[in-house]
Amino acid sequence: MDAWTAHTGALLSFRGDPGEGDAPTWDYWEHGALIVAGGRIEAVGPGPELLRAHAGITVVDHGAGLILPGFIDAHIHYPQTDMIAAGGRDLLDWLTRYAFPTEQAFGAAAHAAEVAEFFLDELMRQGTTTAQVLGTVHAASAEAFFQAAARRRLRMIAGKSLMDRNAPAGLLDTAADCERELRELIGRWHGHGRLGYAITPRFAPTSTPEQLARAGALAREFPDVFVHSHLAENVREIEWVRELFPGARSYLDVYDGAGLLRERATYAHCIHLDAADRIRMAASGAGAAFCPTSNLYLGSGLFDLAASDAAGMRFALATDVGGGTSFSMLATMAEAWKVAQLQGQRLAPLRAFYLATLAGARQLGLADRIGSLAPGLEADFIVLDPEATPLLARRMRRAATLSERLMLWMMLGDDRAVAATYILGERVK
Ligand code: GUN
Ligand code: ZN
Q: Is 286 in the pocket of ligand 1 (CB under 6 A)?
A: no
Mean of the per-residue pLDDT values for the chain?
97
Q: What is the pLDDT of residues 113-163, one digit of tens each?
A: 999 999 999 999 999 999 999 999 999 999 999 999 999 999 999 999 999
Taking CA 86 as the corner, what is the angle to CA 82 and CA 89, rounded to the nearest 5 degrees? 145
Q: Is 95 in the pocket of ligand 1 (CB under 6 A)?
A: yes
Nearest ligand 1 atom to the CA of 161 is: 3
Nearest atom of ligand 1 to the alpha carbon of 206: 2
> In the prediction, which pLDDT does 6 show?
98
Q: Give the closest residue to 252 by CA, choosing from 310, 337, 325, 311.
A: 311
DSSP string, 124-154: HHHTEEEEEEE--S-HHHHHHHHHHHHHTT-
For the Cβ of 323 lying below 6 angstroms from any atom of ligand 1, the answer is yes
Measured in Å, residue 95 CA sits from the centre of ligand 2 at 10
Give the three-class secondary structure for 301.
coil
State the distance from the centre of ligand 2 to the C-alpha of 347, rounded, in angstroms. Answer: 22
Q: What is the pLDDT of residues 189-234, one digit of tens each?
A: 999 999 999 999 999 999 999 999 999 999 999 999 999 999 999 9
Residue nearest ligand 1's atom 11 by CA:
230
* Tens of pLDDT, residues 341-354: 999 999 999 999 99
Angle between the N-to-C axes of helices 139-151 and 109-126, in degrees from 0 to 180, rounded to the nearest 10: 50
CA distance 126 to 90: 27
Probe target for ligand 1 pocket from 95, 96, 291, 300, with the most ligand atoms within 8 Å of CB = 95
Whether pTM exceeds 0.95: yes
| Cα–Cα distance for residue pair 78/324, rounded to 1 Å | 12
> How confident is the model at residue 181, as a pLDDT?
95
Does any ligand 1 atom lie closer than 6 A to the CB of residue 340? Answer: no
Q: Please state the atom number of ligand 1 nearest to the C-alpha of residue 324.
A: 9
pLDDT band at 176 (very low <50, low <70, confident <90, very high): confident
Beta strand ranges found along 242-375 (DSSP E): 265-269, 287-290, 314-317
Q: How far is the CA of 324 from the centre of ligand 2 (A)?
A: 8
Beta carbon of 75 within 6 Å of any ligand 1 atom: no
**Ligand 1 pocket mutation pick from 104, 230, 300, 303 by most atoms within 8 angstroms of CB:** 230
